[in-house]
Structure 1
């Protein structure tokens, strides 16, 4: 595992260090944010959810413009400034005392987060050779899982203490992590800004074949919420499996991503190969849906076996879809517009994650077997459409950014 987290010296190693420190802080926050904001600040669960939705909408709308900013101003500078601002905004969460303040701060934070996401995509594309970009993204995703796991474990101490001071210390820890990554990011290469030319600016939003790929990838990305949102509710309400199995399934997923994401990225460096891998990812996810569906109405031990098998099959689809998406998004983006194209690519996943909780929970909990079968069919159909969409994009000239 250590070797997987220590790539060759150079930009990828620096990006890995940035990712590890940043995600430890993120793990602190995401694990206990709901408890802090509801128990300490006093927000209702509904207000907390609405605030997150508002932030997601801001990030969705701002992604491509912020990616354009990274292209034009230079991604390293945009990322360093974004991390410094995130540190201040995270610390400002300590001052939140109302729903209005939470929504306002979340919206501004989402805007800055969109800037750092666009800059990160442009940095990966510009600092790594084309044939190493997908490999690099795989390293960083594995590192992300390690960092969030460490942060979540540390957050568990604060949750065990269950005091306002402990929760506030987690916020301070997250703010400090942003300052640390801003300093580490100084060691990344200073990629030159891409000069503007005549013509439209946000060309990624005019690239219809690319947007079609983004939409399909976003719909397929809805499956990421199966383990974290749908299955916990499904296990409790519809199966006789032990409830502690929820944690086991998440542990299986995290461990498999850390150990296998780099290997799963092989064969996705070229767009055509990535499209084929994306199609197979849908089949794995569909098979996992069928295994999850079969866990209802059987003895507890059988339900546990089916759920574990489903989690193992699902993570293979997850690994393959992630790697395929990186290969396609990098391969279709024109030179000089990687920042905005990578930001546009992230819009699909954001949209999918916004739709997934309501849609997938409704299908599984309200419709049982029919709901799971519907998911399997949709995931298969969406993934099957990706190769044709990529071929369309390959035949279409990419617009040049202004």
Structure 2
């Protein structure tokens, strides 16, 4: 990040030191490439790969299901191997799958490559989250806010470039955009090699004493890594998080379809709401990081998530008014409220997913938490289109009530967990690796 960008966003100092800044550049390059591809994914498979729309939908759906496994696999590997090496390997996998798509033909050749790319994308998301948690330490809420701002800038730049390229409309342009996406992962992999390995509670530092014998008098063995699959409290938190993550599908799938099919608002608003979302995130995400400044603050901020989600769904329901200006106003209110939910919930989810995990199982826990967003991304569009929109305004009110109730229940669960006994491993600071002294 340049000093100019820091001044514009009013960021006093980026946490995490040099490696924290490198990871922000990595995220920027990654998301610029992703923005190039995400803008034209479906069109590429129809125009350049020759699939019909039905097979294209099936291809993307099956590929998304494969991506669900990426989060827990990456988290588990990050507890056992150096995180930067795992991240490097994942970026190489993403680059390989993207570049091989250029040579693939037919549904069955494309499917494993799309699945591999989806797996890599979800894995990379969890690994960069873990890197940030480890390198930023107590400043992770502010670092996450800066990172989300950078991510949105990257998507915006990539999307704008893709939009300009699509004006040409040739098959070659689609292939060039896919090539740009693949090459961005190559560059990201190279940038990862320049990052030092962040401290981890499972990394053991070995030193020697002057006597060249094990200094074991004060040494203690590290506790075994905890299993998130046996932690019902954390699993409950993650399950409820998958419900609150429905704000993404509501904004990106539900609201545009609602505008076009059920309201008298101008259809151009369906595209404009994405601009509203991006601009607000860039301007406000860092400021709203305070809602995740600690585990207890994050838990209490779930009340704001519940209230804002109710407001956004109610505004969407009201948008069926036949007066165009009233429908437009309701849509704008809904888009802003959904974006506020996104910003607060992302800060809350980030902080709780890390702080509720015992230090010695941090990777595995955060990986399992990654299933929440992945599952929501797969189930959300179908739920929104086949249930919520189909039910009309009552469907939106019902969605708001369900998500708000889930957020309040999640708050109660988290506060109970914070007030109760914590696993012994959780007593260790998340950002500092314990040192076992042994002379080797």
For this structure pair, what is the TM-score category when the shorter chain's length is used for normalisation?
A: over 0.9
TM alignment of 1:25-40, pairs within 5 A? 25-40=33-48
Q: Which of the two has greater helix per residue? A: 1
* 2:410 aligns with one of 378, 386, 397: 386
Task: Name 1:2's counterpart in structure 2.
Answer: 5
Distance 1:245 1:330, change over 3 A: same
TM alignment of 1:238-387, pairs within 5 A? 238-387=262-411
Task: Name 2:239's counterpart in structure 1.
Answer: 215
Deviation at 1:382, TM superposition (A): 0.7
Deviation at 1:179, TM superposition (A): 1.2
Separation (CA, whole Å) in 2 of partners of 1:399 and 1:39? 56
Contact 2:79 2:364 in 1 (8 A): yes
3-state SS, counterpart of residue 128 of structure 1: helix
* 1:172 aligns with one of 160, 163, 179: 179
Write out per-residue CA displacement over residues 320-361 of structure 1, whole angstroms, 9 at most, x where no aligned residue. 111111111111112132222222222101111211111112
Q: Which moved more, 1:144-153 or 1:183-192?
A: 183-192
Contact 1:74 1:192 in 2 (8 A): no
Contact 2:70 2:120 in 1 (8 A): no
Separation (CA, whole Å) in 2 of partners of 1:218 and 1:23? 23
3-state SS, counterpart of residue 292 of structure 2: coil
Contact 1:274 1:328 in 2 (8 A): yes
Contact 1:125 1:338 in 2 (8 A): no
Contact 2:71 2:370 in 1 (8 A): yes
* 1:69 aligns with one of 77, 85, 94: 77
Contact 1:127 1:189 in 2 (8 A): no
* 1:156 paired to 2:180: no
Contact 1:25 1:177 in 2 (8 A): yes
Contact 1:117 1:343 in 2 (8 A): no
Separation (CA, whole Å) in 1 of partners of 2:51 and 2:398? 36
Structure 2: segments with no counterpart, 5+ residues: 205-220, 427-440
TM alignment of 1:28-177, pairs within 5 A? 28-129=36-137, 131-177=138-184
Contact 2:308 2:340 in 1 (8 A): yes
Task: Name 2:430's counterpart in structure 1.
Answer: none
3-state SS, counterpart of residue 321 of structure 2: coil
3-state SS, counterpart of residue 333 of structure 1: coil
Separation (CA, whole Å) in 1 of partners of 2:123 and 2:260? 39
Contact 1:240 1:300 in 2 (8 A): yes
Contact 1:234 1:364 in 2 (8 A): no
Distance 1:317 1:377, change over 3 A: same
Name the larger-Rg structure.
2
* 1:19 paired to 2:32: no
3-state SS, counterpart of residue 21 of structure 1: helix
Write out per-residue CA displacement over residues 212-237 of structure 1, whole angstroms, 9 at most, x where no aligned residue. 11111111111211221111211111
Separation (CA, whole Å) in 1 of partners of 2:394 and 2:226? 41
Distance 1:305 1:118, change over 3 A: closer
Contact 1:203 1:400 in 2 (8 A): no
Normalized against structure 1, the TM-score is what? 0.93
Aligned residues: 400
Task: Name 2:434's counterpart in structure 1.
Answer: none
Distance 1:43 1:399, change over 3 A: farther
Write out per-residue CA displacement over residues 184-230 of structure 1, whole angstroms, 9 at most, x where no aligned residue. 22232213672598998671222211111111111111121122111
Task: Name 1:184's counterpart in structure 2.
Answer: 191
3-state SS, counterpart of residue 68 of structure 2: helix
3-state SS, counterpart of residue 293 of structure 2: coil
Separation (CA, whole Å) in 2 of partners of 1:377 and 1:195? 44
Deviation at 1:400, TM superposition (A): 6.0
3-state SS, counterpart of residue 95 of structure 1: coil
Separation (CA, whole Å) in 1 of partners of 2:189 and 2:308? 38
Alignment RMSD: 2.2
3-state SS, counterpart of residue 265 of structure 2: coil
Distance 1:64 1:202, change over 3 A: farther
